[in-house]
Amino acid sequence: MGGAQAGAGERPAPPTTGSHGRGRPIGAGRQGERPRLQPWPEPGRGRSRSRSRSRSRSRGGPGRSDRGPSRPAVNPLYESTFLFDNDFPALRPDAPSPGPSDHPLFRAEPARGVCKVLCFHPWSDVTLPLMSVPEIRTVIDTWAEVSEDLGAEYPWVQIFENKGAMMGCSNPHPHCQVWASSFLPDVPRREDGNQREYLRRHGEPLLLAYGRQEARRKERLVLANDDWLVLVPYWAVWPFQTLLLPRRHVLRLQDLQPGERDSLAAIMKQLLTRYDNLFETSFPYSMGWHGAPAGPLGEAEAGHWQLHAHYYPPLLRSATVRKFMVGYEMLAQAQRDLTPEQAAERLRQLPEEHFRLRQEKA
């Protein structure tokens, strides 16, 4: 739990992001707003998809589970990334409308979408930091493709990875999930509003200005290359939370140039290697990409958006001692356990070589 050495109240609220899922009280939604209660998505069911029945160490994992009656019983062998439909999706394209409400406390709107799983690699015993830069580049290309494909139909395509049992992921096979929805979910909707307001007031996209400031100030910067920045955000609440940002103005993953995809693969490998080296463990986290809304919403002006990825790791002091968002954090406000500057310094000082490769050499 937060020791709050840094004093949570000393800094302004996050300009672009915040705690997940802290919606307004049930029933506080205004007319026409998507409600806090959604009867059709079944939160949590989608995660069970990644708990595949197959635990093959060599090949398999989430990509090798039993399939529905219209599909083959086993996914084909694959050589690099593999994208497939989630058998137990939280969002469905044909979800029925909730129907009229008879009370303002009980309102809901349709929530439709699709859920997919993307296996990063055919082997179950590797993770992204142990994959080669070209292999990670293939993952990035697949992210860009699925973002574009699903974005043609849905306004929000959420790519996210839960890594490690501590983050509720019991399947070690390297994979992420892709949920596309007919609505803009709470976190991106808040970011959309904040970025739109910043551009209106300052004439420049918020995260473009922010990245430039952090690149200049350097105290929260963890890694940088010609195209990308990794930093511990000024508003971080998780101990080793980071933000991955392109240096130039980029709206969506599919807008990345080939060279930017290569340099993204390289900086991801560097970041995730440092994460693993911090406590010499396969570092758990939830991460995800945020880009400009697509589909019908994307046709409107989206220049206030800047593509970025959030990494939210739970570990605090060791491979087993984690931060809990409980107590004061649930009831009042998130507390910091170390400052973003301290976290960035710790991450900067870690070796570039993965500890497992070091151990193999020893």
Q: Where are the alpha helices (DSSP H) in the chain?
A: 45-48, 133-151, 186-202, 206-217, 258-279, 295-298, 328-331, 340-348, 355-361
Q: How far is the CB of 321 from Zn ion (least distance, A)?
A: 27
Residues 178-237 that bind Zn ion (CB under 5 A): 191
Single residue of 49, 290, 323, 354 touching Zn ion by CB under 5 A: 290
| 16 DSSP 8-state letter | S
Looking at 175, 304, 308, 310, which residue is catalytic? 175
290 is catalytic: no
- Which range, of 67-75, 214-222, 266-274, 286-294, touches Zn ion by CB under 5 A? 286-294
Strand order in the sheet with 308-312: 82-85, 113-119, 175-181, 156-163, 285-290, 308-312, 242-246, 228-231, 221-224
Q: How far is the CB of 290 from Zn ion (least distance, A)?
A: 3
Q: How far is the CB of 171 from Zn ion (least distance, A)?
A: 26
Helix (H) or strand (E) holding 286: strand 285-290
Q: How far is the CB of 308 from Zn ion (least distance, A)?
A: 6
Who's near 99: CB < 8 A, 6+ residues apart? none
Determine the size of the site formed for Zn ion (CB under 5 A): 3
C-alpha to C-alpha distance for 128 and 56, rounded to whole angstroms = 18
Query: Please, which residue, 131 or 264, has the CB nearer to Zn ion?
Result: 264
Per-residue b/e over 11-38, b at no fewer than 16 CB within 10 Å? eeebbbbbeeeeeeeeeebeeeebbbeb
Query: Please, which residue, 290 or 323, has the CB nearer to Zn ion?
Result: 290
Q: How far is the CB of 327 from Zn ion (least distance, A)?
A: 26
Q: Is 163 in the site for Zn ion (CB under 5 A)?
A: no
Residues 1-20 that bind Zn ion (CB under 5 A): 17
Residues 92-131 that bind Zn ion (CB under 5 A): none
**So which residues are the catalytic ones?**
175
Q: For binding to Zn ion (CB under 5 A), which residues are involved?
A: 17, 191, 290
